[in-house]
Chains A and B, each alone.
Chain A
Amino acid sequence: MENASVPSVDNIRFDGSARTRWRLGFDRVIGWLLPLLFLVAILPILSLVYYVSARALPTLSWTVLTSTSPYRTDALGVPIIGTFEVMLLATLLAVLFGLFGGIATAEFLSDRVAGWVRMSANLLVGTPSIIIGYFGYFTFVLYFGWGLSYIAGVFTLSFFMTPYVFRTADLAFTSVPRHIREAALGSGAKPSQYILKVGTPIAFPQILTGVFLAMAIGVGETAPIVLTTQPGVLVPQTVYSPVTFLTQLIWENFAQSQSSGLQVLAFQAAFLIMVVVIALNIVVRLISSRYRKRLEGLYA
């Protein structure tokens, strides 16, 4: 280019040079291509939803969902209750440990120590669940001597879910605007008062999102449960009882059996998990958009 300076306004042609036209055209192509790629990406998901629903829905009835009779092989009552109970307890534990750990890391630990803790949490999130399953097996089943049991499953699953809650709690508290945090501490709030009165209301929606996502991930997990519990035909009676998880049923019925009735049951279990996961994701959406509106202006 011999003249490097910007052309004066009167010399600019608004229909553009050939190169400019080519670039704008390229932009248009990308504009068409992206939605197309999105469709390609979402198509497998839609077909999966269809595939599962088509096999699960025709025979899905209220009895299938609610019967806990040990003599029926076409009912999901026992694994539904098992999944619900295990999820409830595992979520409680994960929230307890994840929340305290996340707040401690964000508010109290020195940057160096916090860095190590965060790295460990990231490692745990990236760890294949089968390894967490084996960890639970060796720790809770063997070392603690709980055997293949309800409680071993709860602890292993909560161990799997905790880092997700931890990460969002940590992130939520570290991303409270610095000037808001300083203003609270500068008014003489003790760290605990800051956390309860100012930090939590701001961090809450993000933490809740993390909890729901951890639940969505946890409810679809198989390995941590399969390796630490044994399936039972009854609703768990004690903490050492057998317990059936929905994913476990899919694993047993689908991968291990050829009976078409059991396979339909597996599809019905899969359908339920799908619904729960989708519902959890929708709840997450609703919460975050709702709270974003409420906290609008805080980050201005």
Chain B
Amino acid sequence: MSGEASSPSANGPVLAVRGLTVTAAKRKILDGVTLDFPPRSLTAVVGPSGCGKTTFVRTLNRMVELTPGLRVEGHVDYVGQNIYGPGVNPVLVRRRIGMVFQRPTVFPMSIFENAAFGLRLIHEPEEVVDRAVTEALVRAGLWDEVKQDLDRSALSLSGGQQQRLCIARALAVNPRVLLLDEPTSALDPAATQRVESTMERLKQDIVLVLVTHNVSQAARVSDRVAFLHSGRLIEVGPTADVLERPKDPLTEQFITGRFA
């Protein structure tokens, strides 16, 4: 584990977003978002479709740069180090801050190699890989289902299992942050429930940023809700506060619209 910044105070934010603005051809997709992610928390980022949720999480590990034509301003501090700072290599950022997507993104290789993917990229020795893969599969809540056939193709798993394998893949490098962009939107209710209980367990020790358009999911699993609208952060606070006593009329409209 090289290149880790010296850890600041244990209770300081793991991720601190400051004045984050993303522009696409003069149009602001995100507009001056400032937001902290404290340790051991699950923050749900909610908002209507097209408000910039996906763009927002993609700035948190510099994946946003894989889309040409987007300009990013402001900064994101990961344990005190600005990931947009000069000399920072986005590839190294992405190796530390993993992401899970709307659709499962398993690679055409074995279950084991999928989970080991991030470790292979940094050439970890075999015994480290073995241990980390097992641990990650356990943490992702998939171990019991796959321990017998780790060499089987990951494509043979069900959608829900594939999604938890993707979570395991991100967890294997032992990250302090896990980004999830609507991870259950392609899953059936039973699979959704499994992924949700995995998230609830994971938030006991790392930072989860969960994008969801589903307010009841936010209510079920998150401890904080951040409401985005037209690229602006309208409101953020403890889940119960934001969902039951929203301060902003836009937030209230969104929530009641969903619940009604």
Question: Interface of A with B (CB < 8 Å)?
Answer: 179-180, 182-190, 193, 197-198, 201-202, 294-298, 300
Contacts and interface: CB of A to CB of B under 8 A. Distances in A.
Interface in B71-124: 91-96, 98-99, 101-103, 105, 107-109, 117-118, 120-122
Contacts of B156: 297
B155 interface: yes
Interface residues of B, number: 30
Given A187-B94, A187-B95, A296-B155, A182 B120 contact: no
A296 B155 CA distance: 7
A189 to B, nearest CB: 6
5 contacts: A183-B105, A186-B61, A188-B94, A189-B121, A298-B108
Contacts of A198: 107-108
A184 B107 contact: yes
Nearest to B162: A297
A188 B118 contact: yes
Most buried by A among B95, B109, B118, B121: B121
Please classify the interface of chain A as helix (H, G, I), strand (E, B), loop, or mixed, using the class held by over half of its residues.
helix
B159 to A, nearest CB: 8
A180 B117 contact: no
Interface of B: 61, 63, 66, 91-96, 98-99, 101-103, 105, 107-109, 117-118, 120-122, 153, 155-156, 159, 166, 169-170
Given A187-B169, A188-B96, 16 more contacts: A183-B105, A184-B107, A185-B66, A186-B63, A186-B66, A187-B98, A187-B117, A188-B95, A188-B118, A189-B91, A197-B117, A197-B120, A198-B107, A198-B108, A295-B108, A295-B155
A182 B169 contact: no
A238 to B, nearest CB: 45
Contacts of B61: 186
B56 to A, nearest CB: 15
A182 B155 contact: no
A187 B118 contact: yes
A297 B157 CA distance: 9
A201 B117 CA distance: 14
Contacts of A197: 107, 109, 117, 120
B103 A179 contact: yes
Given A190-B91, A294-B153, A185 B63 contact: yes
B108 A179 contact: no
Nearest to A296: B155
A20 B233 CA distance: 58
B105 A297 contact: no
A294 B154 CA distance: 11
